[in-house]
Structure 1
């Protein structure tokens, strides 16, 4: 779900009519559908009207006299407007100006078919996003449950095993695959550890993973700057195999793991995952080259959720960085608005997941309930166009955080980041840790 590769957003300068249009996709497809809100920051007050326009580009030149189809409505909800319009010039108006009376996000989705292929562009207007509140409930025994779970997991011996990956080492950094026992006897957690070769005491970064299952290569660049890095997987399999194995797991044994045992808070799949993140912190604290205190956790999407959760579960974490976190306000769909990935209670999943016990269990794993207890400084970055982790959901969590926080919003981004966003994350981490 989190793509670690950096992509460059093409910027199109439309000489015709002297307008500049920014493409809202990182794709290099022939046709670009650029949807533009009428405020530069895409952000509106409640009751303020937002309007949208569309420009269709081919060969970086406006394509005129083409018919487009549009919908406008709350993200992930049934559209309140739909229709067609012929684009006769850049910035052709789409639909009627619209507003929201409650905090949330209004999305304009525009599609065009050219030579039999459909192309899409979106823009999402935010209405008082920093006032969005969660729909999820906080169980009275939330922290009793997690404190007991941590205490039980802490009794499991770590039994760390380390293998040097000589081919990945650099002049300044040693790279290892590590695996540690966690959660219960026999359960293993694998990751890639990178440590500076020079003898000394160093801060550390734990990178927690996006959804899915894949190999990992480690975070060598930060290690070369004098930071121990541990990049973990969560599924109990080594992280150095060929891609085919992970594809087989993704579409086989691990398909839909995020739904597994949702009706039992003690058996839900993410229990082992959350506790595994705490065990990864244990492992970093066991390293003789760790400075013993300066630790950050970082991730995007599912990893963005795990970063917040780990910081809340373990007060040894001193800093966190989270990109478009998943697992936020999962019950949003039960209240007429978007919920977070993996969209447990949307229309597609409602028939088998919208059950009282599953809804209750979701509260113990929802980021919003961990966010309330975050006490460390954090850096956050995301956009308004995210189809995978809806901004309504992650603002519901972000707004619960009372600790010092900084958010870098790049409105046009979806479930991806510009290179500059990753640079800002890494620069912030280095600044905090040095």
Structure 2
């Protein structure tokens, strides 16, 4: 089943726009169901929210078409009427359309919403993908067994909660000798009965700063909020600056020829240790575990579900490092990610998706070239259980750029 809807999830964006102008863009059909060689027609209008969303006239605009087929096209126009761009892809993959307003000097304007970033795909079910390493399953099975058989120390500290109905614990759990610990927060309702709470394990995107305490999510759940690097979650800014520039400099972009010293390995092991401890708590109902996250956090969410068969639901918003071979081996548009290595095949989110058997929901943007849509399609294809894919037009890495963006939902394989 698949459907196209006017997504209500971003309907509240319009009143929040700091700028008056925004682009409203769509394709002439479902944007991921084109055939190779079939014309793709984009209609992109510049509108003014302060003029009842009418066409904003008199602005110079420029557009660029890139694609997994290696073709580049460019053009200029005036915003007096909707911009029509007709293109096609000569191979399975995606086309990326970028549109900008030009200022009086001919430079792209810098407003957050004063640009369009979207796209469309042709025969996306036929995208070539990297193969799994021959020992992919045995490697991960052995690593999880090794982690669970390694005794761990724990330091659990109750901290002041701003919500009297929620208890907050800070945790530090050892992993392997000499490796960074799993750290973060556990939250739950103070009046929760034993074996009553489903578990939510949340992972955070790339960065170096304090870890959020998700009070709102903890009203009816046992919430585990896992840090990125095994750092202390509540330190002063200088501590995180030192992590970024010294101790964890180049995080995820270093040691990527070593299965055990690369940062993904440690990150995924810390997630497993945090879940192992949370599963021992008598408040957990013993059956429900949801993993969740965005970007790097989404990669961790998928890895957590891939490596723990007790996970019953996985949600991933714009998952990172999917299909690292896409650029290196198949000459597709790449994103912001470490360079492909043979070792990273074990940690590629698209490959780990093949181990996810629980229901999964993935959300992506057609203009996201931090996490390109080609890799997201391969990830979705590899998921082994019931799955849902939400595809949003005119969305880059996490931000909708128009108030009523088009969303396509698939609950089955894309054919």
**Normalising by structure 1, what TM-score?**
0.80
Alignment partner, residue 102 of structure 2: 113
Question: Secondary structure at 1:259's aligned position in 2?
Answer: coil
- 1:172-214 CA deviation, whole Å, 9 max, x = no partner? 2101111111133463121111012113222211112211222
| C-alpha distance after superposition, 1:218-271 (max 9, x if no partner) | 22223212x100001131211112344324423443232111111222221211
Partner of 1:83: 75
Contact between 2:296 and 2:319, CA under 8 Å: does it hold in 1?
yes
- Counterpart in the other structure of 2:361: 379
Q: Alignment partner for residue 202 of structure 2, among 196, 200, 207?
A: 207
Offset at residue 40 of structure 1 (A): 5.7
- Structure 1: 4+ residue segments shifted above 6 A: none
Partner of 1:66: 59
Deviations 1:122-150 (A, max 9, x none): 22123344x15452221101122222222
Residue 92 (structure 2) pairs with residue 100 (structure 1): no
1:327 and 1:416 map into 2 onto residues whose CA distance is 15
RMSD over aligned Cα atoms: 2.6
Mapping 1:383-422, distance limit 5 Å:
383-416=365-398
User: Secondary structure of the residue that 2:342 maps to in structure 1?
Assistant: helix
Matched, 1:189 2:186: no
> 2: distance between equivalents of 1:183 and 1:213?
23
Q: What stretches of structure 1 of length at least 5 have no aligned partner? A: 1-5, 13-25, 346-358, 421-434
Q: Is the 8 A contact 1:37 1:50 kept in 2?
A: no
Conserved in 2, the CA contact under 8 Å of 1:43 and 1:126? yes
CA-CA distance at 1:163 after TM superposition? 1.3
Name the structure 2 match of 1:277: 271
Report the equivalent of 1:37. Answer: 26
Q: Which moved more, 1:336-345 or 1:157-166?
A: 336-345
CA contact 1:36–1:91 (8 Å) conserved in 2: no
Q: Which residue of 2 aligns with 1:173?
A: 166
Cα distance, 1:217 vs structure 2: 2.8
Please report the TM-score for the alignment, with normalisation by the length of structure 2: 0.83
Which whole-Å CA distance do the structure 1 matches of 2:136 and 2:96 have between them?
Answer: 34
Q: Partners in 1 of 2:230 and 2:384 — Cα distance?
A: 34
Deviates most, 273-282 or 288-297: 288-297
Structure 1 match to 2:321: 327
Cα pair 2:179 2:266 within 8 Å, conserved: no
Distance 1:27 1:126 in 2: 29
Counterpart for residue 49 of structure 1: 39
1:208–1:231: 8 Å Cα contact kept in structure 2? yes
273 and 177 in structure 1: CA distance in 2 versus 1, 3 angstrom threshold? same
Extract unaligned runs of 5+ from structure 2: 1-8, 110-114, 404-415
Structure 2 CA distance for aligned equivalents of residues 385 and 149 of structure 1:
36
